């Protein structure tokens, strides 16, 4: 537990990223010697609200799953909430996507399976809905592990940070944008949208035109990607025009959902899986258990070693063959 921790207990090693109102640093906890990812969240709230947020976040101590990022503890210092988590050395999938250009279907099959199992765990064991599924909240490491982070365990924190979730809204399901109650089916929409983004190499709304699809996948006739085909160097027609946030949200609510282009490089099983995630009406959307039985998931046979090998090659990391690459958070209490 880090309830009585102070910032002076940590040595900062570098910045890992920023988002959702907070900056994440790689730190070393000097008393234990453990490396951690520490997220700093600055909130202008009353002390009573801060205490409530801290109390709600402690539920994370009870979350123990291979598909959920490990939690070391939370403490308050200088008006900032410090959330200390397991460091996933390959980072988030949005960073992997930037490096890779596109993420292969086989890799996304293993990612999908892990996300589904993580969402099932949160729902079954803790009655938690993630509320913010997107590539930047799916973390990976050099051991080939895939874990969810930044899920909605604290309602008070979500309310206090509402204005910082502009990026999150672009992954929200239509029913959420219209003010309906959040359910796990909304997380499934977000998963589907994230999968298309990672598969084609760009945010998929509005739907790509045939000309744009050709610009992306026509490089070698098989959808393979040379350096000159990577998104940063693609023809301007390869991506959708920038949209203002109000245009984007209106499009999500009123237009047809995006789809993976069929007949290019993606299997029908993958295309069907994504379409089951992105049904406009949540009543028509597949639930977690239906998705887990889909051919795309059943046929996903990439091993953890193969996934780790791809991640390490992509992110220029050395494959970690140890059995204890990351310290188990409970060890801090021993």
pLDDT for the residue 241: 64
Reading across the β-sheet that carries 146-148, which strands appear in turn?
Answer: 91-92, 138-140, 146-148
pLDDT for the residue 60: 86
- Which one has a higher pLDDT value, 221 or 50? 50
- Which one has a higher pLDDT value, 90 or 153? 90
Dist. CA 231–CA 219, nearest whole Å: 12
By mean pLDDT, which of 208-217, 220-229, 247-256 is the weakest?
A: 220-229
Would you state the structure tokens that stand for residue 47, as one six-digit string? 């002390």
pLDDT for the residue 228: 38
pLDDT for the residue 225: 39
Catalytic residue of the set 89, 94, 132, 229: 132
List residues forming the annotated binding site for ATP.
39
Q: What is the DSSP string of 250-309?
A: HHHHHSPPP-PPTTSS--HHHHHHHHHHT-SSGGGS--HHHHHTSHHHHT----HHHHHH
* Residue 80 neighbours by CB distance under 10 Å: 16
pLDDT band, residue 299 (cuts 50/70/90): very high
Q: Which domains can be identified in the chain, with CATH numbers?
A: 7-87 (3.30.200.20), 91-315 (1.10.510.10)
pLDDT for the residue 322: 63
Average pLDDT, the chain: 85
Query: What number is the average pLDDT over the span 217-230?
Result: 47
Q: Please check the confidence at residue 239 and state whether its pLDDT lies above 70.
A: no
* Residue 254 neighbours by CB distance under 10 Å: 9
pLDDT for the residue 329: 47
pLDDT for the residue 328: 40
Would you state the structure tokens that stand for residue 120, as one six-digit string? 């099932």
| Catalytic annotation present for 268 | no
By mean pLDDT, which of 58-67, 156-165, 189-198, 208-217 is the weakest?
A: 156-165
Dist. CA 26–CA 14, nearest whole Å: 5
List residues forming the annotated binding site.
39
pLDDT for the residue 156: 61
pLDDT for the residue 236: 37
Q: What is the DSSP letter of 154?
A: -
pLDDT for the residue 58: 79
Per-residue pLDDT tens digits for 286-295:
999 999 999 9
- Cβ-based neighbours of 332, under 8 Å, separated by 6 or more: 1, 2, 32, 34, 72, 73
Query: What number is the average pLDDT over the span 136-149?
Result: 96
pLDDT for the residue 222: 40
Query: What number is the average pLDDT over the span 210-239?
Result: 55
pLDDT for the residue 56: 78
Per-residue pLDDT tens digits for 87-130:
999 999 999 999 999 999 999 999 999 999 999 999 999 998 99
Q: What is the DSSP string of 38-80?
A: EEEEE----HHHHHHHHHHHGGGGG---TTB--EEEEEEETTE
Q: Please check the confidence at residue 331 and state whether its pLDDT lies above 70.
A: no
Dist. CA 175–CA 281, nearest whole Å: 8
pLDDT for the residue 20: 62
- Which one has a higher pLDDT value, 31 or 332? 31
- Which one has a higher pLDDT value, 53 or 324? 53
Q: Please check the confidence at residue 230 and state whether its pLDDT lies above 60.
A: no
């Amino acid at each position: 537990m880090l309830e009585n921790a102070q910032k002076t207990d940590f040595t900062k090693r570098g910045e890992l990223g920023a988002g959702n109102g907070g900056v994440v640093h790689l730190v070393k906890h000097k008393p234990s010697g453990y490396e951690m990812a520490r997220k700093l969240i600055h909130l202008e709230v009353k002390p009573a609200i801060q205490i409530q947020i801290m109390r709600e976040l402690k539920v994370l101590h009870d979350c123990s799953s291979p598909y959920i990022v490990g939690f070391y503890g939370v403490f308050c210092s200088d008006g900032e909430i410090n959330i200390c988590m397991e460091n996933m050395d390959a980072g988030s999938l949005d960073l992997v996507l930037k490096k890779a250009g596109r993420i292969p279907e086989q890799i996304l099959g293993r990612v999908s399976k892990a996300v589904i199992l993580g969402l099932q765990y949160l729902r079954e064991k803790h009655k938690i809905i993630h509320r913010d599924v997107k590539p930047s909240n799916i973390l990976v490491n050099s051991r080939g592990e895939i874990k969810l982070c930044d899920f909605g365990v604290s309602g008070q924190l979500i309310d206090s940070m509402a204005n910082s979730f502009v990026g999150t809204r672009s992954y929200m399901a239509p029913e959420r944008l219209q003010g309906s109650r959040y359910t796990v089916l909304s997380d499934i929409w977000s998963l589907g949208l994230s999968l298309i983004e990672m598969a084609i190499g760009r945010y998929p709304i509005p739907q790509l035109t045939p000309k744009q699809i050709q610009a992306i996948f026509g490089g070698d006739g098989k959808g393979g990607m040379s350096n000159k085909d990577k998104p940063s160097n693609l023809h301007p027609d390869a991506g959708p025009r920038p949209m203002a946030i109000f245009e984007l949200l209106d499009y999500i609510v009123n237009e047809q959902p995006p789809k993976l282009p069929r007949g290019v490089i993606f299997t029908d099983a993958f295309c069907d899986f994504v379409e089951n995630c992105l049904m406009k009406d949540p009543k028509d959307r597949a639930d977690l258990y239906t998705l887990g039985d889909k051919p795309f998931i059943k046929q996903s046979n990439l091993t953890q070693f193969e996934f780790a090998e791809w991640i390490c090659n992509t992110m220029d990391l050395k494959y970690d063959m140890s059995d204890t690459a990351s310290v188990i958070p409970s060890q801090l209490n021993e």
